[in-house]
Amino acid sequence: MAVETHTFEMQTRGDCEVLDLTSRIAHFVGSGGIKDGLVTVFVVGSTASITTTEFEPGLANHDLKAAFEKIAPPNGTYLHEQTWNDDNGHAHVCASLVGPTLTVPVSSKKLDLGQWQQIVLIDFDTRPRTRKIIVKVVGE
């Protein structure tokens, strides 16, 4: 079994910004030495998440944000904000619900994703950030 590790950073603006990571992850998988296995994508931090979705403007720029605002409204009351005197309690709640990690099967050096399925980073924070993403490809 082999393991390949890749890291990169992305500038984000927060406010439920959705960024497509698929081509970058596919490049790591396709250019590496592992033919079959798993790729795990992890975002460092507690106010962003990694998941899959159909990356299209209506969903990425409106629908996801609208749904998350119903679950954890930005203007809601969060004890986290009282504890740390900040304004991103909702970002922590949303990121915790989605999670920081995604694992995708790899076959013949290709991601086993559906036709309309992309790997995305969602940044829930209230300000721009530099996000570090760690990618581990494991297999043979």
Q: What is the mean pLDDT of each run of 10 residues along the chain (140 residues)?
A: 97 98 98 98 98 96 97 96 94 98 98 98 98 98
CATH of domain 2-139: 2.60.120.460
CA dist 110 and 129 (Å) reads: 30
CA dist 137 and 8 (Å) reads: 14
- Threshold 0.85, pTM exceeds: yes
